[in-house]
């Protein structure tokens, strides 16, 4: 097992303190951290919040574009899709509308964003009463799957980390929410931070982790600050557990679990080849449980009210889901509904459609586009995969018939080109090729420019190291499939 390298983990933070990529900053940080200047420079140029520290940031995400954003100094997404259009001033101040809606207080909901945050440690105490074996069985009966996008069964991760024999184990909480259309973890951190901390305490004790790293997206300062305030009064939950809150530095790829580990270790956020998986060799080579914010926030309810109850809350798949919805709806927001609810059910809660709906993205940019022919399809992993899409982060964006679908697709393809980490050739080259092909078609109207798109997509899917390259062609492929009249 590798040990933390003194100074290296501090490199991104030291670069931010030094004002980002300014003359002389790299050399000063290299001397202070004792990390080679070339490595420091590599980190400085990788993360947008370090490379361009004082530049105003106008969101060029799909929802902000639909709301009229003109991205002269564009960034891929700011995680404020419900408040579109959004921008960050040069001093980091957010310029956006008020936060979107959530459901009213409903204690029957496992997360219940509209309710008051927890004020006791009852779930932690109940987990200890159950014991680890019974706790893992409860988790298995619940059917809880990761809510960050991959949908891997949570109990299998917990069992794998617990089974490892190691002196040091870690729990890493992925709060680097960068998928366009997604802002659920932001609202959970702001509204229910103690609920998350209770889930963290239960999971860490169950797998034997003594340290926790929560990696919060750098642009979501309000969310990270809310978590830090909650930590001040959470010793009754955490006991001797050490919780570190780290800020991201502006890289969508760090939402991938192994790129996230690289970022915490102070490197560029390049995904690792797997196996080994983080459960065996994760942070600094130690067994590591990596979970999304929403996944851990569901654990207290499962512990207190049982796995069977949680499973029964869903439709075809277990539990509830925090669905984000933005774009052409009356009340954008985050709504906790049964997993497998339909688009029409979600939008009804959000006040209805604005204009005549024509298309929607069910799970962020990675899920591509679907036509309204699929409005009654359950929004769950199995149902969406059946039509070539994915639930992903459940970042639903609705587009009405005023939108040019070719232009909307181009926005999404530019996002992936901007956010590829560049580590592997299929993704690095393929993202640019897909964007170029679409731009040539948009300029000329000649569909011959799109002839190689499926072949390039296949190469990217088969040859990319991580999921970004595997799904980066999805906006274009899905738009061509479901809206052929726009691409003929």
Statement: residue 3 has pLDDT above 80: no
Task: For the full predicted model, state whether its pTM sits above 0.85.
Answer: yes
DSSP three-state, residue 337? strand
Question: 112 in a domain, yes or no?
Answer: no
Structural domain ending residue among the three candidates 246, 275, 310? 310
Structure tokens at 257: 């679990």
Co-location of 306 and 321 in the same domain: no
Question: Which of 278, 310, 342 is a domain's end point?
Answer: 310
Same domain (yes/no): 320, 428: no
Q: pLDDT by residue (tens digit) across 372-381?
A: 999 999 999 9
Exposed, middle or buried, 210 (CB in 10 Å: 0-12/13-18/19+)? middle
Decide if 114 is inside a domain. no
**Distance in angstroms (rounded) separating the CA atoms of residues 343 and 293:** 24
Q: Do residues 168 and 73 both lie within one domain?
A: no
Q: Does 31 score more than 60 pLDDT?
A: yes
**Residues 186 and 223 occupy one common structural domain:** yes
How far is the C-alpha of 82 from the C-alpha of 101, rounded, in Å?
Answer: 8
Q: What is the pLDDT at residue 104?
A: 98
465 and 328: one domain?
no
Same domain, 41 and 20: yes
d(CA 185, CA 191): 10
Alpha helix locations (H) across 322-377?
343-349
Spatial separation of the C-alpha atoms in residues 74 and 81, rounded to whole Å: 15
pLDDT at residue 6 in the model? 65
Instruction: Give every CB contact of residue 181 below 8 A, 6+ residues apart in sequence.
Output: 61, 62, 63, 81, 324, 326, 327, 361, 363, 364, 365, 393, 395, 396, 397
Shared domain for 320 and 338, answered yes or no, is yes
Q: Report residue 53's pLDDT band, with 50, 70 and 90 as the boundaries.
A: confident
Rounded CA separation 217/188 (Å)? 13
Asked whether 426 and 458 are in contact (CB, 8 A), the reply is no
Using the predicted structure, report yes or no on whether residue 482 has a pLDDT greater than 60.
Answer: yes
Does 2 have pLDDT greater than 70? no
pLDDT surpasses 80 at 447? yes
CA distance 478 to 413: 12
Contact call for residues 331 and 361 (beta carbons, < 8 A): no
Number of domains in the chain: 5
Instruction: Assess whether 417 and 393 both reside in one domain.
Output: no
Residue 106 lies in a domain: no
- Residue 205 domain flag: yes
Same domain, 349 and 449: no
CATH no. for residue 385?
A: 3.10.20.600
**Cα Rg of the chain, angstroms:** 22
Cα 262 to its chain centre, rounded Å, is 16
Print the SS3 string covering 109-159: CCCCCCCCCCCCCHHHHHHHHHCHHHHHHHHHHHCCECCCCCCCEHHHHHH
Average of per-residue pLDDT across 195-209 = 98
> Which residue is associated with the tokens 């393929």?
430
Alpha helices (runs of H) in 209-306, residue ranges in sequence order: 221-232, 235-238, 257-264, 293-297, 299-305
Q: Indicate whether 67 belongs to any domain.
A: yes
Do both 87 and 148 map to the same domain? no
Alpha carbon distance 367, 71 (integer Å): 23
Report how far residue 285's alpha carbon sits from residue 265's, in angstroms, rounded to the nearest whole number: 11
User: Does a structural domain hold residue 108?
Assistant: no
pLDDT of residue 75: 85
Can you count the helices (H) and strands (E) in the chain?
Answer: 23, 13
Let me know: does 304 contact 123? Beta carbons within 8 Å.
yes
Residue 446: CATH number of its domain: 1.20.1440.230
Q: Are 93 and 103 in contact (CB under 8 A)?
A: no
Whether residue 230 has pLDDT greater than 90: yes
Q: What is the mean pLDDT of the chain?
A: 95
pLDDT of residue 215 exceeding 70: yes
What is the arithmetic mean of pLDDT over 251-272? 97
Does 182 fall in a domain? yes
Tens digits of per-residue pLDDT, 330-361?
Answer: 999 999 999 999 999 999 999 999 999 999 99
Q: How confident is the model at residue 366 (pLDDT cuts 50, 70, 90)?
A: very high
Does residue 207 share a domain with residue 269?
A: yes
Q: Are residues 306 and 320 in the same domain?
A: no
Angle at 441 between CA 436 and CA 446, to 5 degrees: 140
pLDDT band at 149 (very low <50, low <70, confident <90, very high): confident
Tell me if 373 sits within 8 A of 399, measured CB to CB: no
Instruction: Please give the residue range of the domain that contains residue 73.
Output: 57-95
Task: Decide which of 326 and 22 is more confident.
Answer: 326
pLDDT greater than 60 at residue 392: yes
8 A C-beta contact, residue 366 and residue 385: no
Q: How confident is the model at residue 151 (pLDDT cuts 50, 70, 90)?
A: confident
Tokens of 89: 């001033």
Q: What pLDDT score was predicted for residue 178? A: 92
Residue 1 has pLDDT above 60, yes or no: no
Prior bond of 276 cis (ω within 30°)? yes
pLDDT band at residue 192, thresholds of 50, 70 and 90?
A: very high
Cα atoms found within 13 Å of the Cα of residue 254, Cβ hemisphere only? 31
Q: Is residue 117 part of a domain?
A: no
Q: What is the pLDDT of residue 10?
A: 94
- Of 352, 372, 400, the one marking the end of a domain is 400
For residues 111 and 192, what is the distance between their CA atoms, to the nearest angstrom? 8
Residue 40 has pLDDT above 80, yes or no: yes
Work out the average pLDDT over 263-272: 97
User: How far, in Å, CA of 21 to CA of 42, rounded?
Assistant: 11
């Amino acid at each position: 097992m590798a040990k933390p390298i003194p100074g290296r983990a501090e490199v991104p933070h030291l670069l931010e303190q030094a004002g980002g990529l300014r003359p002389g900053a790299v050399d000063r940080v290299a001397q202070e951290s004792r990390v080679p200047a070339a490595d420091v420079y590599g980190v400085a140029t990788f993360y947008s919040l370090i490379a361009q520290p004082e530049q105003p940031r106008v969101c060029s995400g799909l929802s902000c574009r639909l709301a009229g954003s003109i991205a002269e100094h564009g960034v891929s997404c700011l995680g404020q899709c419900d408040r579109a259009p959004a921008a960050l001033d040069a001093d980091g101040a957010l310029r956006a509308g008020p936060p979107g809606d959530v459901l009213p207080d409903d204690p029957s909901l496992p997360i219940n964003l509209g309710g008051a945050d927890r004020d006791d440690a009852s779930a932690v105490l109940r987990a200890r009463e159950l014991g680890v074996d019974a706790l893992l069985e409860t988790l298995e009966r619940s059917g809880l799957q990761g809510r960050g996008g991959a949908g891997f069964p949570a109990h299998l991760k917990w069992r794998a980390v617990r089974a490892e024999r190691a002196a040091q184990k870690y729990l890493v909480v992925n709060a680097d929410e960068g998928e366009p259309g997604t802002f659920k973890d932001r609202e959970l951190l702001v509204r229910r931070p103690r609920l998350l901390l209770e889930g963290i305490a239960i999971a860490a004790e169950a797998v034997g982790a003594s340290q926790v790293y929560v990696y919060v997206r750098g642009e979501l300062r309000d969310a990270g600050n809310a978590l830090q305030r909650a930590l001040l009064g959470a010793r009754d939950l955490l006991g001797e557990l050490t919780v570190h809150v780290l800020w991201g530095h502006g890289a969508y790829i760090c939402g991938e679990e192994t790129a996230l580990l690289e970022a915490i270790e102070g490197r560029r956020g390049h995904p690792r080849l797997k196996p080994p998986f983080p459960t065996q060799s994760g942070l600094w080579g130690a067994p590591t449980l990596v979970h999304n914010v929403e996944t851990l926030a569901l654990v207290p309810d499962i512990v207190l009210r049982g796995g069977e109850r949680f499973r029964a809350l869903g439709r075809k798949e277990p539990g509830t889901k925090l669905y984000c919805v933005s774009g052409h709806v009356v009340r954008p927001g985050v709504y906790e509904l049964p997993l497998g609810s339909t688009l029409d059910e979600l939008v009804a809660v959000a006040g209805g459609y604005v204009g005549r709906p024509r298309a929607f993205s069910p799970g962020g940019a990675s899920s591509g586009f679907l036509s309204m022919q699929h409005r009654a399809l359950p929004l769950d992993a199995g149902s969406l995969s059946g039509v070539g899409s994915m639930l992903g982060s459940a970042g639903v964006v609705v587009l009405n018939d005023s939108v040019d679908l070719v232009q909307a697709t181009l926005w999404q393809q530019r996002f992936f080109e901007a956010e590829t980490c560049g580590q592997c050739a299929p993704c690095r080259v393929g993202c640019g090729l897909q964007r170029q092909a679409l731009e040539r078609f948009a300029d000329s109207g000649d569909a011959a420019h799109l002839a190689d798109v499926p072949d390039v997509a296949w190469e990217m899917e088969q040859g990319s190291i991580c999921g970004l390259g595997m799904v980066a062609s999805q906006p274009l492929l899905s738009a061509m499939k479901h809206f052929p009249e726009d691409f003929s």
